[in-house]
Structure 1
C-alpha cells in the first residue's frame, strides 16, 4: 500500500485529503461533544436551579408550619378548658389558610378537640397512629404525609408537636394537617407559566418513601413514584442528580432532582428531552449542514482536480513512459493537452519537445551505431578506410570524403577517397610546411578544422568544385594518425551538431583504424604464437596421457585431492581396493573413500578411528585390514602433501598399497623360526645326550646299549634331515621353484611300499588297503607323492585311535586316494585350516606329540603342483583326507608330441 501511495500522485493527494477530512471530522465530533455537553449542562443547571428554588420554598413552608404549631402549643398549654382550646384553634386556622385541620390529643393519642368541629371523631384514637407514637417519643415537631381518616379524607402533611411540663411529663399533642393540594399550588403556577410559553414542564415533590407529596397532577398525590423518576433516589440521599429517562408517555424526559434536606424529601423537575435539548438538536442540524456542504465542496473540488489535473498527469505519465517510435506515434491526447495555457499544457509541450529531441538524438545515435558497426566490422586497413568514407557521407550531407595518411616523411597523401577526381587522388601531397591547410592543422592540433574555399585559394578541392571543407583527425597512439576530410559544394560552414556527430564517429573510426593496423602488424606474430601454443599443447597432452597411463598401471592405489579435500583423481587400483568406481570417487570429498574403506574393514571402530586421524592429517601412515574377496587384506596408507615449485600447497596425495603378501611372509618367517627352533632343539638335544653318554670314559656300555644309542642318534638325525627337506620343499613351492619329474607310475605299488615302511614305525596300528588291481597308471613325481602318502599315513597313525584305511579308485580322468582313520574327528570350523602352514588341529594325541605343522601343508603343495586337489572330510569318529592324481595318457607313437617348457608358477595358474 505504501509503495502504491509513493508511485501515484492521485493516491498521495487523496491520502492528504482523507487525512484532512479525518482531522476535520474528529475536530467536528470533538466540538460537537463539547458544545452538546455544555448545552446539556446549561439545561440541567436551569432545571436544577428551578428544583432548588422549589425545594427551598417547600422547606420554608414546612418550617414555618412547624414554628407556628410550636407557638400554638404554647398557647394551648396556658388555657384550661377544651372550649378555650377550640377558640384558640379557630383563631389559628383563620391565620393559616394552608392548614386544613388542627387537633388536640391527650397523652394516649385520643382526639379531644378538633377544628373545624367534628363531633363524630372526638374521643377516638388519632390516625395515622405512627405520628402519635413518634410525637410521644420526641421533644420536637414530627410530621408525616398521609390522610387523617377520622376527620377528613384530604391528603396532607400531618405535623404533631408534643406538649410537656417542665419535668418532662407529656400533657398532650397539638397536631395540624397541611393540605397537599395547597402545597401543590405553587407548582401548578410554575407549570402553567411554562405552558403559556410553549414549554412542557412537570414538577414532583416526594417524601423519603418515594410517595408523591406535591404535583400539579392532584389525582396522583400519595402515589409511590420513586421508580418513575430517575435520579430521585440519589436526591433522597442528599445528592443532586440529572438523568435522561423514559416517561409515562413513552418519550424521553430530562429529570433533575434536588434534595429537601431538612424534610428528607426531594424535588424532581422534568421536561421532555426533545424540548430540553432543542438547542443541541439545532446545533446538530447546523453541524450536519456544514458537513454536507464540506462534503459537496470536497466532491466538487475532487471532480475538478481529477478532470483537470490528475487524469491528464496520469495519462501523460502512462503514455510517455518510453520514447515513441516516430513523430507520428506521439499520442493525440498529449497534443490536445499541449493547447492548454496552464501548467498541464506547459508540461505536455515540454514532453513533446523532449520526445522530438530524443527522437532526433536517437536517430543520430542509431545512424552512428550503424556506421560504427560497419566500420569496426573489418580488420583490413584499406577496407576500414573505405567504410569510414562511405559511412561519413551517409552520416552528414557531404558530396565527397577522403582519408589522408602521412607517409614516412610526414607528407599527407590520399589513402582512399570518394567523390574526388583522379587528379586529386594522385597529386594531393600536403607537407607540414602547408600551415594553412585544414588537414595539416587538424593533424597537428588534434582538433577538427573547417574552412570556406574561395577563388583566391589555390587548392585541389576548389578545382574539383568544392567550397567547404572539414578536417577531422583520427589519431591513434599505437597505429599513428590519419585525417578524415569531407567536402561540400555549398559555401557554408558545418554546424556544431554535424561536427559533434562526426567527432563521435571519428572516435569509433579511430578504434577501427587502430585495430586494423595492429591486427595487420600482429597477424603473423599471432600465427607464430598459435603454432607454438599448439605444439606445447600437444606436448602437454602427450605428457598428460603418459602420466595418466603410468598412474593407471600402478599396482598401488593413488588418490589426489585438492586443498578443499575433494578428490581430483583416483586410479583403477584405488577404486578396486575400496570397491567404488573412479566416477563415484572423483569430485567427492575424501571422506567418501574413507567411509567406503570403513564399511569393508575387519574392525570397523578401530579402522574408522585411524581413518579419521589420517583425514585431519594427525598421522601420515597407517595400516588397516579390510575384507577383499572374502579374504583379509592389509592396506598400507601413506598421506603426503603436493606442493608447487614455490612451496604453495596444491592438495594432498594418498597412496594405498596392499601389503598382505609382506605381512604373510613376515608372519611365515616368524612362525617358521619359532616352529623350527622348537623342533630342531629336541633332536639336537637327544643327539647331544646320546653322543655325550657314549663318550663318557668312566662308564662302559654294552654293545646292545651302544647300538641303541647309535640307533637313536641315527633316528634323530633322520628326523632333522626330513625337517630340513620339508622346509626346503616348502620354500621351493613358495618361490615357485619346485620341480617335478613326472612319469607313469602304478599308485598301488607306491601305497604298498609306504604301508610296509609305516608298519615298521607303527607296529601297533592296524592298516588296511582297498584298491583295484586294474587301476590305471598315474602321471606323477613318485618321490613327491610318496612323501604325501608318508605324511598322511603317519598323521593317521599318530592321531588315530583304531584302524587306518587307504583307498584308491578311479573317478573320471583322476585316481582319488583317500586315507581314513577312526578316532576323534576334526571340528567343522577347523577343516578349512588343516592345510595351512604350522596349523595343528585340536584332536587326537597332539597334546602329547610334537611336530612342526608342515606335513599337510607340504602335501597340499605337492598335490597342487601336479594340478590336482586335496581335501579333508571329518565326522564324529572318522577323519578322511583325500587327493586326486592325473591318469597317465597313453601316447600314440606316430602322434606328434608337443613339449612346452614353462615354470611351475605358470603351470599352477594353468
Structure 2
C-alpha cells in the first residue's frame, strides 16, 4: 500500500511538473475546465427536454385513444338508442314510411360519424322474464344467460364479439332493459351490433386525425381479448398478434394511459389505450416509438451534435493553437537554448526555423528577430576569431575539422573550405610536411590524446623560405553538462618570442663577461691587501684601493 501511495505521489509530481512546464497542457486543462460543465449542461438540458417531449407525445396519444373510445362509445350508445326507438315504434304499430323516414333522419342528425342504424343488425324485443335461449344469444356471449339476473344490473350491457347464428357475420349483442312509467322493468331490447360497420366507423375516426408523418394502428378488443373493431375486417374475432398482454389488460381497465413496449417484430412501439365507456371493451392505438418520438429524438440528437461540435471545435482550436503558436514557441525555446549553450541546431530544425521566420504574424517577426540576432552574434564571434593572429581549428569526435579560421588557411597554404571537413591527421600532415619535429609532435599528440589536460608542444616549420617556430595547444570542448563534444587546436607563431629569448641569452652572456673582468681585478687587489705575509706601505695600499 505504501509503494502504491509513493508511486501515485511520484506520478502526481511528474504530471504537476509537466503541467507547469508545458503550455499545451495548461490550455487543454483550462479548456476542459470550461467545456466539461457546458457539455454536461447541454446534455442534461437535452435529456430533460426529451423527457418532456416524450411525455407530451404520450399524453397526446392517450388523449387520442380516449377520444376514439368516447366516439365509439357514443356510436354504440346511439345504436342502442336506435334499437329502443325502433322497438317503441314497433310496439305501438306506428311504422308507416313517413314515421320511419323521420326517425331515420333523427338518427342521422346524431353526433356520430355513422348513422347508428347502420350499426344494427337483427334486433328484437324479449319480454320479462323469458329465459335467453341459444337461438337468441349463444352462451359464450355473456357470462350468464338469465334475463332475470340481467335486470339486476340496471343498465345496458354488451357482449363479447361472436358470429351471428342467423347471418354468420361478426356481431356483438347489446341488451338494454326497459322500464315503464312506474320504473318497473318489463322487457329487454336485444340487438346485434355489426362489427364490420363498427370497424368502418373506427376507420372514419382515424381519418379525422392528420397522419402525414406517421400512421396510427388502432384496434378495439373485447373482454375475451379478441378484435371487435379493426380497419381490416378479415381479422375480426381473432386474437391480436403482437399486442403485449400488459397493454391489453390495461386497455380493459378504467384508466387510460400510454406505455412503450417491444413488439413482436423487435421494434419499440408506443401503445396508448383507453376503455370504451359502458362496455367491457378497450381501444388500443399504436405506432413505432421512433415515429412517435421523432421530434424528441431529433432534439436529443441535435443537443448531442451541439455538444460534439463544441468538443470537436475545442479540439481543433487546441490543435491549431498548438501548431501555430505552441510548437513555434517550443522551436524558439530550443533555438534560445542552443544560443545559450553554443550548441548548433540540427540542419532540419534550422530549416524549419527559417520557414517559421517567413511568417507574417507576430511569431514570424519574433523568430526573424531571434534568427537575425543569432546571426549577428555568430558574425561578431566569427570576426573575432578570424582577427586572431593564431591559427585555429575545431574538430568533432570523429576527428573531422568543422571550423578553421583565416590564419589556418595561411598556415596550411590552402583554402578554408578545403580545410573544413578534412580529417585532422591530414591537416597536421600539411603543417608538418617540412618539419624535422614531425615524428616527435605526432607521438606526443597520440600519447596524450585522451588526456583531459591541455596538450602543449612546440616545433619548427619552413614557410616562405624562412623557418618559423609554432606552439600547438590542444584543448577539449565540452557542452553545458560537461560532456565531450570535440577538440580545438591553436597554432601560435612564437618565432618572435624565440628571437627575444635568444637576444636575452646573448645580453646576459655579454653583461656577465663584461662584469666578470673588473671583478677579477678587484678580487686580486683585495686578496693582496689581505695577505698577512706581506706588509704594504700606506702609499701602496691606497694605490691598490
Q: TM-score, normalised on structure 2?
A: 0.51
Aligned to 1:43: 57
Aligned to 2:255: 239
Give 2:272's match in structure 1, choosing from 256, 280, 284. Answer: 256
Cα distance change on mapping 1:308 and 1:165 into 2, 3 Å: closer
Cα distance change on mapping 1:57 and 1:192 into 2, 3 Å: closer
Aligned to 1:184: 199
Give 1:343's match in structure 2, choosing from 354, 359, 362. Answer: 362
1:104 equivalenced with 2:125 (yes/no): yes
RCO comparison, higher one (Cα < 8 Å, 6+) = 2
Is residue 194–residue 201 contact of structure 1 (8 Å, CA) maintained in 2? no
Is residue 104–residue 111 contact of structure 1 (8 Å, CA) maintained in 2? no
- State the distance in 2 between where 1:328 and 1:170 align: 118
SS in 2 for 1:17: helix
Aligned to 2:76: 62
SS in 2 for 1:173: strand
SS in 2 for 1:228: coil
Q: CA deviation at 1:74?
A: 5.8
| Runs (5+) with no aligned partner, structure 1 | 113-119, 360-910
Q: CA deviation at 1:9?
A: 0.7
Aligned to 1:4: 18
Cα distance change on mapping 1:300 and 1:18 into 2, 3 Å: same
Q: CA deviation at 1:48?
A: 2.9
| Runs (5+) with no aligned partner, structure 2 | 1-14, 108-116, 379-545
- State the distance in 2 between where 1:139 and 1:42 align: 39
Q: CA deviation at 1:248?
A: 4.6
Mapping of 1:722-871 within 5 angstroms? none
1:301 equivalenced with 2:317 (yes/no): yes
Aligned to 2:228: 213
- State the distance in 2 between where 1:165 and 1:340 align: 106
Cα distance change on mapping 1:110 and 1:87 into 2, 3 Å: farther
Aligned to 1:880: none
Aligned to 1:662: none
The C-alpha deviation readout for 1:836-856, integer Å capped at 9, x for no partner, is xxxxxxxxxxxxxxxxxxxxx
- State the distance in 1 between where 2:31 and 2:260 align: 39
Q: CA deviation at 1:72?
A: 5.5
Is residue 157–residue 278 contact of structure 2 (8 Å, CA) maintained in 1? no
Q: Quick check: which has more Rg, 1 or 2?
A: 1
Q: CA deviation at 1:352?
A: 7.2
- State the distance in 1 between where 2:82 and 2:367 align: 100
Is residue 65–residue 274 contact of structure 2 (8 Å, CA) maintained in 1? yes
- State the distance in 2 between where 1:336 and 1:162 align: 102
Is residue 128–residue 188 contact of structure 2 (8 Å, CA) maintained in 1? yes
1:267 equivalenced with 2:267 (yes/no): no
1:276 equivalenced with 2:292 (yes/no): yes
- State the distance in 1 between where 2:61 and 2:179 align: 44
- State the distance in 2 between where 1:164 and 1:327 align: 117
- State the distance in 2 between where 1:135 and 1:157 align: 16
Cα distance change on mapping 1:241 and 1:162 into 2, 3 Å: closer
Aligned to 1:16: 30
Aligned to 1:146: 161
Is residue 162–residue 237 contact of structure 2 (8 Å, CA) maintained in 1? no
SS in 2 for 1:216: coil
Is residue 83–residue 120 contact of structure 2 (8 Å, CA) maintained in 1? no
The C-alpha deviation readout for 1:498-534, integer Å capped at 9, x for no partner, is xxxxxxxxxxxxxxxxxxxxxxxxxxxxxxxxxxxxx
Q: CA deviation at 1:30?
A: 2.7
Is residue 332–residue 367 contact of structure 2 (8 Å, CA) maintained in 1? yes
The C-alpha deviation readout for 1:754-795, integer Å capped at 9, x for no partner, is xxxxxxxxxxxxxxxxxxxxxxxxxxxxxxxxxxxxxxxxxx
- State the distance in 2 between where 1:328 and 1:3 align: 27
The C-alpha deviation readout for 1:401-426, integer Å capped at 9, x for no partner, is xxxxxxxxxxxxxxxxxxxxxxxxxx
Q: CA deviation at 1:16?
A: 2.7
Cα distance change on mapping 1:148 and 1:339 into 2, 3 Å: closer
